[in-house]
Amino acid sequence: MTEKSPTRIVVAGAAGRMGQALSGLALSDPDLELFGATEAPVFPGIGKDIGEILGERDTGVQLTTDLEAAAQGAHAYVDFTRPQATLSALSALKGTGVKAVVIGTTGFTQDELLALQEWSQHYAIVFSGNFSLGVNMLAELVRRAAKSLGPEWDIEVLETHHRHKVDAPSGTALLLGEAAADGCGAPLDDLRLPPYDGVTGERPEGKIGFSVRRSGGVIGEHEVSFGAMEEVLSLSHTALDRRVFARGAMKAAQWAVGKPAGWYSMKHVLGL
């Protein structure tokens, strides 16, 4: 019997909150190999062993700003950074053999998202606002509820995250909003309400609202509520540990290796 060799992963933003969870997982899972680790040029620990950042043994993988060099010979690239960094990275990867790309970064503008999607002609890109199984299952339940309940049920997406989060609404809130819109049979852009602020007038029927809370160290809480005049149905998810996102992202990376270039979501990876 031949042993399968581990999937060689390059982690971007490896010293960040998600980067550390991803690097830690790649170092501890025998089916994965932490092959490279990048950070922003301003990061003071460039050149240090990632093990030092994680408070672990030396790993032989140094933090670098040179993605093109770090990714030579890798199988997959995993990016949880910032939109501009993600877009630059896809350009840098062109000079490497890497064809499988996992993107968890959120906060892209419409134009940035279009630019990102263009790259799916070159890479198998798995893009998701949330890599947990629970949230992707929640999205399916939300789609179904929105389809069955109809426009007299007010759909509201609520999210809470830690104080360091820089984008709103969260990528997950948008993913859930898109699932709800899909259930309603229209694109989210047509149904999305502007943020409630000031004299908003009465809530229109058939639209989808978003509310955002930033609070301390909350990792991620999402709720989708369907409100009728005599009852409210709420579907929710709480992330308890960032490792849940890391595990989903690594599963996506392993899945994407060898897939044809294209734009994929966790629905494809999980077979939902």
Ligand X SMILES: O=C(O)C1=N[C@H](C(=O)O)C[C@H](O)C1
Ligand Y SMILES: NC(=O)C1=CN([C@@H]2O[C@H](COP(=O)(O)OP(=O)(O)OC[C@H]3O[C@@H](n4cnc5c(N)ncnc54)[C@H](OP(=O)(O)O)[C@@H]3O)[C@@H](O)[C@H]2O)C=CC1
Q: Using CB distances below 5 to 8 A depending on partner kind, what does residue 207 bind out of ligand X, ligand Y, none?
A: none
Q: Which of 165, 251, 259, 268 is catalytic?
A: 165
Residue 122 catalytic?
A: no
Tell which one of 10, 11, 12, 142 touches ligand Y (CB under 6 A): 12
106 is in an annotated binding site: yes
Give the count of residues interacting with ligand Y (CB under 6 A): 26
Q: Using CB distances below 5 to 8 A depending on partner kind, what does residue 16 bind out of ligand Y, ligand X, none?
A: ligand Y
* Exposure on the CB side of residue 230, measured as CA atoms within 13 A: 0
Q: Using CB distances below 5 to 8 A depending on partner kind, what does residue 128 bind out of ligand Y, ligand X, none?
A: ligand Y
36 is in an annotated binding site: no
Q: Using CB distances below 5 to 8 A depending on partner kind, what does residue 161 bind out of ligand Y, ligand X, none?
A: ligand X
- DSSP calls for 216-260: TT--EEEEEEEE-SS-EEEEEEEE--THHHHHHHHHHHHHHTTPP
Distance CA 86, CA 63 (A): 17
Q: Is 248 in the site for ligand X (CB under 6 A)?
A: no
Give least dist CB 269 to ligand X, A: 16
CA distances to 49, 122, 157, 158, 193 from 153, rounded to whole Å, are 53, 42, 13, 16, 15
Q: Is 75 in the site for ligand Y (CB under 6 A)?
A: no
Fill in the amino acid letter for 38.
Answer: T
Written in H, E and C, the secondary structure of 200-216 is CCCCCCCCEEEEEEECC
Instruction: Give residues 92-121 in contact with ligand X (rule: CB under 6 A).
Output: 106
Closest CA to 206 of 221, 222, 192, 223: 192
56 is in an annotated binding site: yes
16 is in an annotated binding site: yes
Give least dist CB 5 to ligand Y, A: 26
Instruction: With beta carbons less than 8 A apart as the criterion, state whether 105 and 129 touch.
Output: no
Give the count of residues interacting with ligand X (CB under 6 A): 10
Q: Is the dihedral of CA 136, 138, 143, 144 positive or negative?
A: positive
Residue 165 catalytic?
A: yes
Distance CA 244, CA 104 (A): 13
CA distances to 19, 84, 186, 253, 256 from 75, rounded to whole Å, are 17, 23, 37, 9, 9
137 is in an annotated binding site: no
Task: Report the DSSP beta bridge partners of residue 238.
Answer: 221
Site residues, ligand X (CB under 6 A):
106, 129-130, 161, 165, 170-172, 220, 239
Q: Which residues bind ligand Y (CB under 6 A)?
A: 12-13, 15-19, 38-40, 42-43, 80-82, 85, 104-107, 128-131, 171, 245
Active-site positions?
161, 165
Annotated binding site for NAD(+): 13-18, 56, 104-106, 128-131
Return binding residues for NADP(+): 57
